[in-house]
């Protein structure tokens, strides 16, 4: 199975010219790494134009509304994202949760994404962590709440990206052993609610990751890939990361 790298550009780059260059550099690096599959999540404004260049690189929308249309100023719908050739949807990112997105919102978005034949990438994770272990309940509630009305036969199509928000920007990245523990916990939570199909769910690591630590997390962390933020918007960094995994 190939390692999945989802490149979340966030609100970068600032121009179409730069976006095109970044995409071409990422595509070139992906083409040289046979063991790596890359998905690019650009700002929605660039989706349609990048789809003309995409070929072997699928595109993701970073966020979209569950409703088909309506009075939602500034939003785009998952239907519109799908029509713009996005085949993946990042849902429940920590930065969206910080702006007020709820677990109920993530559930509606997952159902909408599935209805439009898109692959949801559900982000879960705690903001803080202590030795008491209450963060496990935080992650459990996010997973169960987001998947609550998803049919059992669709569970395996959903990707879970674990974001340890407390580790992003920290002096040290999350230890692979801790990620291994969380990967097991996430799959166990899904198995408890939906049966053995939970074992087939792809889990990604979405914390601070780059070429210096990605391979170790992949080997020891019970993950099948990464949701990459800052590094994915810098050509040299994303090329180095992809190379380190190939």
For residues 15-53, one letter each, b for 16 or more C-beta atoms within 10 angstroms of the residue's C-beta and e for the rest, the string is eeeebeebbeebbebbeebeebbbbbbbbbebbebbbee
Contacts of 130 by beta carbon, 8 Å cutoff, 6+ apart: none
Looking at residue 208, its pLDDT comes to 85
pLDDT in tens, 18-49: 999 999 999 999 999 999 999 999 999 999 99
Rg, the chain, Cα only: 17
Looking at residue 131, its pLDDT comes to 78
pLDDT in tens, 119-137: 999 999 998 887 788 899 9
In contact, 136 and 126? CB cutoff 8 Å: no
Q: What average pLDDT does this structure show over 7-17?
A: 97
pTM of the model: 0.96
Residue 75 phi/psi, 5° resolution? -95, 165
Looking at residue 126, its pLDDT comes to 92
The rounded mean pLDDT for the chain is 94
Q: Is the pLDDT of residue 116 over 80?
A: yes
Contacts of 79 by beta carbon, 8 Å cutoff, 6+ apart: 68, 69, 112, 116
pLDDT in tens, 192-228: 999 999 999 999 999 888 899 999 999 999 999 999 9
**Distance of alpha carbon 159 from alpha carbon 119, whole angstroms:** 7
Determine whether domain 3-245 maps to CATH 3.20.20.70: yes
Active site residues: 93, 163
**Distance of alpha carbon 228 from alpha carbon 207, whole angstroms:** 8
């Amino acid at each position: 199975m190939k390692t999945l790298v989802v490149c979340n550009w966030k609100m970068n780059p600032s121009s179409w010219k730069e976006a095109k260059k970044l995409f071409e550099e990422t595509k070139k690096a992906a083409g040289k790494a046979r063991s790596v599959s890359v998905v690019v999540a650009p700002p929605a404004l660039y989706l349609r134009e990048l789809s003309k260049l995409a070929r072997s690189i699928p595109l993701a929308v970073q966020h979209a509304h569950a409703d088909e249309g309506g009075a939602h100023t500034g939003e785009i719908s998952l239907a519109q994202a799908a029509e713009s050739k996005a085949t993946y949807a990042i849902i429940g990112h920590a930065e969206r949760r910080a702006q007020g997105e709820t677990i109920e919102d993530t559930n509606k978005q997952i159902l909408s994404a599935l209805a439009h034949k898109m692959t949801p990438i559900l982000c879960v994770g705690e903001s803080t962590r202590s030795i008491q272990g209450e963060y496990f309940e935080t992650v459990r509630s996010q997973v169960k709440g987001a998947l609550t009305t998803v049919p059992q036969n669709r569970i395996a199509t959903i990707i879970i990206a674990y974001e340890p928000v407390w580790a992003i920007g920290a002096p040290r990245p999350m230890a692979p052993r801790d990620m291994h523990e969380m990967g097991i916990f996430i799959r166990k939570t899904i198995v408890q609610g939906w049966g053995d199909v939970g074992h087939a769910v792809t889990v990604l690591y979405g914390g601070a990751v780059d070429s210096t630590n990605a391979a170790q997390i992949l080997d020891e962390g019970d993950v099948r890939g990464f949701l990459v933020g800052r590094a994915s918007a810098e050509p040299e960094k994303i090329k180095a990361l992809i190379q380190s995994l190939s």
